[in-house]
C-alpha cells in the first residue's frame, strides 16, 4: 500500500543554518505530495504542496520539489529561524485511485537554537 | 482560516465514562476525519466520513464510534473511556479532488484518569 518515510529526528540546527528533511514515498497511482507543520500545542497546518512531477511547492522560505524518478519530496530552507522550531510531516494523497485519505509520515521534530 | 472548530479543547474524564468530541465545519466539505496523535505513533486514523451518515473505520477504531447526521458536524464518541485513550484528538476536513490536502482543527486534549 501507499506509504511515506521521513528521516528520523529530532533535528537540531543553529539559527541561519541550511535545513533538509528527507521524505520518500511509495504509491500505486499519481499522488499529490504535501508538507505539514505543527507548532507546539497546535494542530497541523499545510505548509506547501505539489501535485505533479517536477512541481516545486514553496511557502515561508521552505520549498520542496516533486521528484518522480526518485519518489522523493525533500523539504529545504536556506536559513532557518528559531520560529521554525516545530514538527514537520510529509504526506501524500493518491489521486490515481479512489483512495481518499491522506497518508502521513511519522514526523520530524526540528529545534533551532539561537 | 478555514472554518473548522473542535470542542472541547481540553477534557479530563474518568475511566468508564462515555465522552463525545465534536468537530464542526463551515466549509461544506464532504470528507471529515478523526485522528489521534500520540508520542512515538504519529497520527493514526480513527474513523472517517464520506458524507452524511456515511462513515468508515480507520486503523485504530476499537473503542470509538462516530456519527455524522449533518454535513457540518462529525462526532467522535468514546463509549467507555480507558486510560489508553488519553491522547490529543484532531479533526480534519478535505475537499474533493486528490490534490486537496487536509485542514485540521486545533485539537482536543483528552485525559482519562
pLDDT digits (tens, 9 = 90+) for A9-52: 899 999 999 999 999 999 887 888 999 999 988 899 999 999 88
pLDDT bracket for residue A68 (50, 70, 90): very high
> Taking CB atoms and an 8 Å cut-off, how many pairs form between chains A and B?
55
Phi, psi of B17 (to 5 degrees): -90, 150
| Alpha-carbon gap: A32 to the closest alpha carbon of chain B (Å) | 5
| Alpha-carbon gap: B112 to the closest alpha carbon of chain A (Å) | 19
pLDDT at residue B94, rounded to an integer:
86
- Distant-in-sequence, close-in-space partners of B62: CB < 8 Å, separation ≥ 6: none
| Alpha-carbon gap: A21 to the closest alpha carbon of chain B (Å) | 17
- Rounded Cα distance, A16 and A23, in Å: 22
pLDDT bracket for residue B98 (50, 70, 90): low
The C-alpha cell that represents B63 in the structure block:
473503542
Partners of residue B100 in chain A, C-beta under 8 Å: 93
Q: Name the DSSP class of A9.
A: S
Q: Are strands A31-38 and A19-21 parallel, antiparallel or unpaired?
A: unpaired
pLDDT bracket for residue A100 (50, 70, 90): low
Q: Among A14-28, B3-17, B95-109, which stretch is predicted with the lowest mean pLDDT? A: B95-109
Helix (H, G, I), strand (E, B) or coil at B85: helix
pLDDT at residue B95, rounded to an integer:
75
Query: Are B33 and A101 inside 8 Å of each other by CB?
Result: yes
- Whether A75 and A56 have beta carbons less than 8 Å apart is answered as no
Amino acid at each position: 500500500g501507499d506509504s511515506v518515510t521521513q528521516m528520523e529526528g529530532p533535528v537540531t540546527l543553529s539559527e541561519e543554518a541550511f535545513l533538509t528533511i528527507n521524505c520518500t514515498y511509495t504509491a500505486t497511482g499519481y499522488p499529490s505530495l504535501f508538507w505539514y507543520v505543527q507548532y507546539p500545542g497546535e494542530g497541523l497546518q499545510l505548509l506547501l504542496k505539489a501535485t505533479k512531477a517536477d512541481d516545486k511547492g514553496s511557502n515561508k522560505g521552505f520549498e520542496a520539489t516533486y521528484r518522480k524518478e526518485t519518489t522523493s519530496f525533500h523539504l529545504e530552507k536556506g536559513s532557518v529561524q528559531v520560529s521554525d522550531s516545530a514538527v514537520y510531516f510529509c504526506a501524500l494523497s493518491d489521486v490515481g485511485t479512489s483512495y481518499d485519505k491522506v497518508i502521513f509520515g511519522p514526523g520530524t521534530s526540528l529545534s533551532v537554537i539561537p | 482560516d478555514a472554518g473548522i472548530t473542535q470542542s472541547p479543547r481540553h477534557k479530563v474524564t474518568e475511566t468508564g465514562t462515555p465522552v463525545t468530541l465534536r468537530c464542526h465545519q463551515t466549509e461544506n466539505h464532504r470528507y471529515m476525519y478523526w485522528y489521534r496523535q500520540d508520542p512515538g505513533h504519529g497520527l493514526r486514523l480513527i474513523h472517517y466520513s464520506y458524507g452524511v451518515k456515511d462513515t468508515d473505520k480507520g486503523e485504530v477504531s476499537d473503542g470509538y464510534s462516530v456519527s455524522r447526521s449533518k454535513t457540518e458536524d462529525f462526532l467522535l464518541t468514546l463509549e467507555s473511556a480507558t486510560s489508553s485513550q488519553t491522547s490529543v484528538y484532531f479533526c480534519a476536513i478535505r475537499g474533493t479532488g486528490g490534490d486537496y490536502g487536509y485542514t485540521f482543527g486545533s485539537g482536543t486534549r483528552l485525559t482519562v484518569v
